[in-house]
């Protein structure tokens, strides 16, 4: 279960991260919103892998 959730979180981080970089490079303000939307995936990954420094 947690392995599947971790894979989904990793895909979310990669997809939203690349999309936010592309949008910001095109001077689109939504890039910052998309980047901010990827933050929950970072918390999920940090919690599953017990990376407490990243989590806090």
Could you report the per-residue pLDDT of 27-55, keeping only the tens digit for each?
999 999 999 999 999 999 999 999 999 88
Which range marks the domain in which residue 20 is found? 2-55
Confidence of residue 2 (pLDDT cuts 50, 70, 90): confident
Chain centroid offset of residue 34 CA = 9
- Our count of domains for the chain comes to 1
Query: Phi/psi zone of residue 7: left (φ > 0), alpha (ψ -120 to 50 degrees), beta?
Result: alpha
Residues with Cβ within 8 Å of 4's Cβ and at least 6 positions away in sequence, in order, are none
The predicted structure's pLDDT at residue 6: 93
The predicted structure's pLDDT at residue 1: 77
Rounded to whole angstroms, the Cα distance separating 42 from 40 reads 5
Residues with Cβ within 8 Å of 12's Cβ and at least 6 positions away in sequence, in order, are 38, 41
Model confidence pLDDT, tens digit, residues 11-21: 999 999 999 99
Q: Which helix (H) or strand (E) holds 37?
A: helix 30-37
């Amino acid at each position: 279960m947690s392995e599947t959730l971790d894979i989904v979180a990793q895909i979310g981080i990669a997809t939203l991260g690349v999309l936010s970089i592309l949008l910001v490079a095109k001077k689109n303000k939504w890039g910052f919103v998309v980047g901010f939307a990827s933050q929950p995936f970072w918390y999920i990954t940090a919690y599953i892998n017990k990376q407490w420094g990243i989590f806090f």
